[in-house]
Amino acid sequence: MADSDKLPARVRRQSLIDWDRARGKQTLAVLTAYDYTFARLADRAGADALLVGDSLGMTFAGEDNTLSVTLEQMVYHTRAVARGRERALLISDLPFLSYQESPEQALRSAGELLRAGAEVVKLEGGAVMAETVAFLSARGIPVCGHIGLTPQSVHQLGGYRQQGRDEVTAARLREDARQLVAAGARLLVLEAMPADLAAQITAESTVPTIGIGAGPHCDAQVLVMQDVLGLFLGQSPGFVRRYLEGAALCQDALARFVDDVHQRAYPGSGEG
Ligand SMILES: Nc1nc(=O)c2c([nH]1)NC[C@@H]1CN(c3ccc(C(=O)N[C@@H](CCC(=O)O)C(=O)O)cc3)CN21
Ligand SMILES: CC(C)C(=O)C(=O)O
Ligand SMILES: [Mg+2]
């Protein structure tokens, strides 16, 4: 029997139980994904979770911030990513104004993301969101908190800048984390904060932390896929490590196609 005739080995889907078990043993890797193709590639690369981030407003749609992203758009992208995913845990962002109004609004919005294939919903905010996190958790919906640089508050924060630099704001972030976990959050994103603060929050947390620009001591690391692949055309944050010059490679390939057509070199014989 040829290899290709064998039934595919069934991959075991990662759950929050696997995430809890990995804590302290292996640092887990998360990538954002917005579509079927890249979700499949990241899943096959071994990503432990895929995040359908509202950063898609910037990376996919070319907006200046994430505020214009709608729940309908997040549902659409979550469906596409869910089809590409085999193994990774699937987390989706609740977008701006889809959860801040009330726990009931958050429940309805979270339900739509779960029906589209998400297994965990992520929302931005600290202590002020504890009631909503408890409401969703009590109704069987796993929540990932997100504190530090919360991009949906970009105008209040005065830009995309590191948070928790002084003692007062650091203490507030530790208390935010404590209240989110006490309310039932199963994961915690720590974005753009000093490494020692993220280490302290991670040590105090009973659930896995996922860092982005938050140093090496978190239980997991997440980056925006376009930043990793060099496909983000704006200014990537300073903490990004680029693993591919994706934009240059893609643009060069596309330019060669355009040239070939202009030169009548495509299609050739045998290419229709
Ligand atoms: N492509 C992309 N990658 C991301 O990681 C990302 C997005 N987009 N969009 C939403 C947010 C914004 N992000 C950011 C952006 C900048 C910093 C940052 O650390 N900035 C520097 C300079 C700030 C300044 O110019 O004042 C800093 O030192 O704080 C952190 C997170 C993370 N998210
Ligand atoms: C950067 C991650 C944490 C995020 O929230 C997003 O991609 O929207
Ligand atoms: Mg987000």
pLDDT at site 11: 86
Give the mutation target among 160, 169, 242 for probing the ligand 1 site: most ligand atoms within 8 A of CB: 160
Q: Are residues 249 and 181 in the same domain?
A: no
Do 169 and 253 lie in a common domain? Answer: no
Q: Is 208 in the same domain as 263? A: no
Provide the pLDDT for residue 123. 99
Contacts of 182 (CB under 8 A, 6+ apart): 130
Residue closest via CA to ligand 1's atom 24 equals 161
Residues 270, 218 share a domain: no
Answer yes or no: do 73 and 186 share one domain. Answer: yes
**Whose alpha carbon is nearest atom 7 of ligand 2?**
53
For the chain, residues with pLDDT lower than 50 are 1
Based on the domain organization, do 118 and 189 belong to the same domain? yes
What is the SS3 assignment for 13? coil
Give pLDDT tens digits for 204-252: 999 999 999 999 999 999 999 999 999 999 999 999 999 999 999 999 9
> Are residues 202 and 266 part of one domain?
no
Residues 81 and 211 in one domain: yes
* pLDDT given for residue 156 in this prediction: 98
Ligand 1 atom index nearest CA of 226? 1
pTM: 0.96
Q: Give residue 165's domain range.
A: 3-241
Question: So what's the pLDDT on residue 272?
Answer: 85
Tally the domains of the chain. Answer: 2
Claim to verify: residue 213 and residue 271 sit in the same structural domain: no
Are residues 64 and 180 located together in one domain of the fold? yes
Token digits of residue 216: 């090496």
At 158, the amino acid letter reads G
Residue 135 has what pLDDT?
Answer: 99
Q: Which of 52, 122, 161 to mutate to test the pocket of ligand 1 (most atoms within 8 A of CB)?
A: 161
Q: Are residues 128 and 262 in the same domain?
A: no
Does one domain contain both 88 and 189?
yes
Confidence at residue 112, expressed as pLDDT on a 0 to 100 scale: 98
From 191, 204, 245, 271, active-site residue: 191
Residue 105 sits in a domain whose CATH number is: 3.20.20.60
Number of C-beta neighbours around residue 235 at 10 A: 8
* Burial class of residue 247, CB neighbours in 10 A (0-12, 13-18, 19+): middle
- The whole-number pLDDT of residue 2 equals 53
Q: Is 191 marked active-site?
A: yes
